[in-house]
Structure 1
Amino acid sequence: MPAEYLQLHSFSKEWNVRGAQAASALTLAAMSLGYGVVQLDVTIVNTALDAMGKSLGGGVAELQWVVSAYTIAFAAFILTAGALGDRIGAKRIFMAGFALFTAASLACALSPHAIMLIGARLVQGLAAAILVPNSLALLNHTYTDDRARGRAVAVWAAGASLALTAGPFVGGALITLVGWRAIFLVNLPIGLAGLWLSWRYAVETTRARSREIDLPGQFAAIGALGALAGAIIEGGELGWQHSLVLSAFAAAAVLATLFVWRESRTSQPMLPLSLFSHRLFTLTTVVGLLVNIAIYGLIFVLSLYFQRINGLSAWWTGLAFVPMMGAVLPVNLLAPRLAERIGPCPTIVVGACISALGCLGLVWIEAGTSYWAIFAQMIAISGGLGLLVPPLTSTLLGSVEKARSGIAAGVLNATRQTGSVLGVALFGSLVGGEGAFMQGLHLALVISAAVLLLAAATIGIGARTRGRTM
């Protein structure tokens, strides 16, 4: 065989390998944009809470609904979105979610009153529910090696961390220079870039046409989560003994029971209860719920603390959050390497304990406390979160067969967003009363520390009882 032919064949093979690597990297970029734009709205909206309240009217309860409408829809629809990706193809569903998120962002920017803004935020949450599990499913499809997948997930999480970091700074600048409506317009170019990269480089997943959509279960999930969030939010305004609040709690309990009953009976459940027979799947799901109750509830109340108690502008509030969010990015990149050394479950335990210590270090905070006096504690809270999320996500995906990666990713993110809903609702109700903000903030910090330590104990003890290193 001529040497020229062998050289040409070798060059062609190397070119194909490099092309495949580039396509994988650009697919990862598209998935990171999808997750990033979802997380961007967390910090941008929290920075704009005071500006939106003054512009549209309303108190803490209305602001809780602006935040919670997004997370309720996110949590309630994410399981169905994962199932749709399994049935129709993750790429198709991911692109549809990106288009819907972009359109809903425009509707948020144009909202003339709080009701329309809350409705547009619901649609945004639905689109976010579509984006996150299908981005993970596409990553799982693209990166088949465990180590490569772990590092890709770390980059995916780091992209979201970058969005979280940029959110306060960009949001504060936009609110100061243009107004709060501009914070939603920034999603438009991100959406267009993500759509193009996905269309051009992502490879469609295998379609499971036998996968059905569980509409009764979906409606029960929406009702249960919405009723529970409403009861907690309005309990802070109306009082916990109010008939509407008690009725909402009762409705949430009944609907949650119906949801579990439905999922145990149907042949194609939106939440296959059999997944929880995997110990690691169950442990990581519970930890995801607990961590988000603590972290995202605190982000909400700290945003109000900076603006309403310490009188900071949106610009300075944004700057106050930049170091906290910025700490997540480098720790996200460190997490998979630490997990390779000591194991993913011990890494999760360390991250949760660091965040808990940060919460306890803030318990003495008062009105007018210097920012630099709480700086290290805020870094600890976010750094612990950055350390635990990549191994948490990768461990959960690795605990189930690849054919169910979409629904597994959906369950993790549904429970995490449910935690966000409960955290914002609970902590918001604690600080919503007249003259009770600081007392409520102190209690929220104690609760957060306890919940994070419970998460560490759950994964630490649960993993150890398996009798092998995780």
Structure 2
Amino acid sequence: MSSSTGIGRREKLLVLSTCCLSLFIVGLDNTILNVALPSIRGDLDASVSQLQWTIDAYTLVLAALLMVAGSTADRIGRRRVFQTGLVVFAVGSALCALAPGLGWLIAFRVVQAVGGSMLNPVAMSIITNTFTEPRERARAIGAWSAVVGVAMALGPIVGGALVDSAGWRSVFWMNLPVVLVAIVLTALYVPESKAARPRRADPVGQVLVFVFLLSLTYTIIEGRAQGWTSPLIVGLFLLAAGCLAGLVYRSPRRVEPLIDLRFFRSVPFAGATVTAVCTFAAMSGFLFLNTLYLQDARGWSPTEAGLRTLPMAVMTVVFAPISGRLVARIGPRIPLVGAGVAMAAGAALLVGLTEDTSTLRMVAAYGVFGVGFGLVNAPITNTAVSGMPRAQAGVASAIASTSRQFGQCLGVAVVGTTIASVPGTPGGADLAAATHTGWWIVLGCAGAVAVLGMLTTGRRALRTAERTGAELMPATPPAGTQETTDVRQ
């Protein structure tokens, strides 16, 4: 099967496999560390808030840089940025494995995230520009999205086995051989591509985004310890609000802002953005709460804790490709609503956990939650890029990826704060009770996914996507150029 890119079916599959491989290792790294948190706390004497920063330093930087990485790749070359990201991610992983203390580990997680920010949106843009036929593209996006869910679901299982057998540092060492393979495959099979009319850089917008995310995250994580009414916390909250207002004010006044607010005139796109935040807040909150519950409240080893989540991983693996096919055939509404209902049902079973909750109830909860998470990723990604001009693929997919990372960051920050609010270092029944508020938050986020799925995928909503896509379509490029240029090197 060929397309305007001039690439045959075999080459396309190799490009898709390469992108999925890199995405798998980045997605795995988002969740594999969760099961290692109790070991890190014991080895490096970390508090709950420090554990939150170990996770959120990574997701925060990813969220802040994804959009600029997508537009930069459109400008200077997607394969070039993708390869650079792989190298930086490998270096960051090695530094994390060698970190002598918790502060160093958090700093090296930032390095790792800088590399990771060059992978997700750029991989999506490469796929979008390689698979140009709509149905073919939908299947490719479904496969790509399935990898996101599978990687996150497998993280606790793989992490548990590694932590028990080789210590928590091994979760970072394992990245290196996989990234090396991805670098070689990228050089051999991924064509270089650029947007014929790439977006201009917006450094002021980038600074506003980063300061907004950092100040809001710090406020949530440290608010309890510092005091919610302390000058520092109130000042940082006002700073976050000011940055958000600045983005809203200046974006319409720039020809090519970092975040083009016109994207959000598409109801499906706006819905996909909020849905991604809610979904990944639920997932990251789920994993953070569950890891501490299984190891600290139940006393199970990392491997035992990881294996307990196997039903979730299995259901995610089974339903992720099904979701991709459903989206290609019938659209995103049914998979989105089903995902929200299933995730909410799984979270509902975990509300009220005690230190001796039955294994059957937990297995059922994990399995049902996994069904929902398996269903949700393909419709989010497909809806986010549908109707958007190919020249804006990097930016559109970067916003969707940013929403995922922001959701993860927010989930860990919020549910972690509910546990940290318990005096001392809770364990056993105290920790089990401390998770109850967090599970209600996860349930609320999942329920929002179902509601958004109903409200943002109807015919009227789809018409707004068509109008937005037409509005964003660039003017006819000069003779001799194409909207997107793919050059085999």
Q: TM-score, normalised by structure 1?
A: 0.92
Aligned partner of 1:452 among 407, 422, 446: 446
Counterpart of 2:455 in structure 1 is 461
Match of 2:230 in 1: 242
* Aligned AA (1:449): L
Cα distance, 1:103–1:232 mapped onto 2, change above 3 Å: same
Residue 157 (structure 1) shift: 2.6
Which residue identity does 1:28 align to in structure 2? L
Q: Which residue of 2 aligns with 1:390?
A: 378
Query: Is the Cα contact below 8 Å between 1:213 and 1:270 reproduced in 2?
Result: yes
Kindly state the Cα deviation for residue 378 of structure 1 after the two structures are TM-superposed.
1.3
| Match in the other structure for 2:27 | 39
- Give distance in 1, aligned partners of 2:462 and 2:220: 40
1:411 paired residue number: 399
- In the aligned structure 1, how far is the partner of 2:180 from the partner of 2:299? 37
For residues 379 and 364 of structure 2, what CA distance do their matches in structure 1 show?
Answer: 24
Deviates more, 1:102-111 or 1:164-173: 164-173
Distance 1:331 1:177 in 2: 30
Cα pair 1:165 1:323 within 8 Å, conserved: no
Identity of aligned residues (%): 32
Partner secondary structure for residue 300 of structure 2:
coil
1:331 paired with 2:325, answer no
| 1:239, distance to aligned residue in structure 2 (A) | 3.5
Counterpart of 2:257 in 1: which secondary structure? coil
The structural deviation recorded for 1:468 is 7.0
- Secondary structure of 2:33's partner? helix
Residues 1:160 and 2:148 aligned together: yes
What is the deviation of 1:403?
0.9
Structure 2 residue aligned with 1:285: 273
Mapped partners of 2:315, 2:225: distance in 1: 35
Question: What is the Cα deviation at residue 376 of structure 1?
Answer: 1.1
Partner residue, 1:361: 349
Pairs within 5 Å for 1:94-173: 94-173=82-161
Q: Which letter does structure 2 place at the counterpart of 1:83?
A: S
Alpha-carbon distance in 2 for matches of 1:181, 1:75: 24
**In proportion to residue count, which structure has more helix?**
1
CA contact (8 A) 1:172 1:314 kept: yes
| Residues 236-295 of structure 1: per-residue CA shift (max 9 Å, x gap) | 333423332222212211222223223232222111111112222111111111111212
Contact 1:348 1:388 in 2 (8 A): yes
C-alpha separation between the residues in 1 aligned to 2:264 and 2:209? 18
Paired position in structure 2 for 1:5? none
Per mean C-alpha deviation after superposition, the further-off stretch among 289-298 and 109-118 is 289-298
Q: Aligned equivalents of 2:202 and 2:354: distance in 1?
A: 48
Measured after TM superposition, the shift of residue 127 of structure 1 is 1.6
| 1:439 to 1:245, Cα distance in 2 relative to 1, 3 A | farther
* Displacement after TM superposition at 1:467 (Å): 7.2
TM-score normalised by the chain length of structure 2:
0.89
Quote the residue 1:29 is aligned against: 17
Residue 181 (1) aligns with residue 169 (2): yes
User: Which of the numbers 49, 53, 60 marks the counterpart of 1:65?
Assistant: 53
Q: How far does the alpha carbon of each residue in 1:99-150 deviate from its partner, in whole angstroms, 9 at most, with x for none?
A: 1101100010010011111011112122221100000000001111121112
Residues 67/255 of structure 1: CA separation in 2 closer, same or farther (3 Å cut): same
Gaps of 5+ in 2: 466-489
Counterparts of 2:136 and 2:302, CA distance in 1? 40
Contact 2:32 2:156 in 1 (8 A): yes
1:370 matched to which residue of 2? 358
Alignment partners' CA distance in 1, 2:196 and 2:41: 45
Instruction: Report the secondary structure of 1:327's partner residue.
Output: helix
In the aligned structure 1, how far is the partner of 2:142 from the partner of 2:461?
27
Query: Which of the numbers 176, 193, 203 marks the counterpart of 1:215?
Result: 203
**Partner secondary structure for residue 368 of structure 1:** coil
Cα offsets for 1:365-401 (capped at 9, x unmatched): 1123233321111111121011021122112111211
Q: Verify the 8 A CA contact 1:150 1:391 in the aligned structure 2.
A: no
For residue 68 of structure 1, report the CA deviation from its aligned partner: 0.2
Partner residue of 1:7?
none
The DSSP-based 3-state class of the residue aligned with 1:58 is: coil
Q: 5+ unaligned residues in a row in structure 1: which ranges?
A: 1-12
Corresponding position of 2:339? 351
Q: Work out the CA distance in 2 between the residues paired with 1:403 and 1:283.
A: 22
Give the AA of the match of 2:369. I
Q: Deviations over 1:71-116 (max 9, x none)?
A: 0001011110111111112111111111110110001001001111
Please name the residue that 1:10 is paired with: none
Structure 1 283/309 Cα, relative in aligned 2: closer, same or farther at 3 Å? Answer: same
Instruction: Pick closer, same or farther for the CA change 1:304–1:39 going to 2, 3 Å.
Output: same
Alignment correspondent of 1:75? 63
| Residues 208 and 313 (structure 1), Cα distance of their counterparts in 2 relative to 1, 3 Å cut | same
Kept after mapping to 1: 8 A contact 2:150/2:320? no
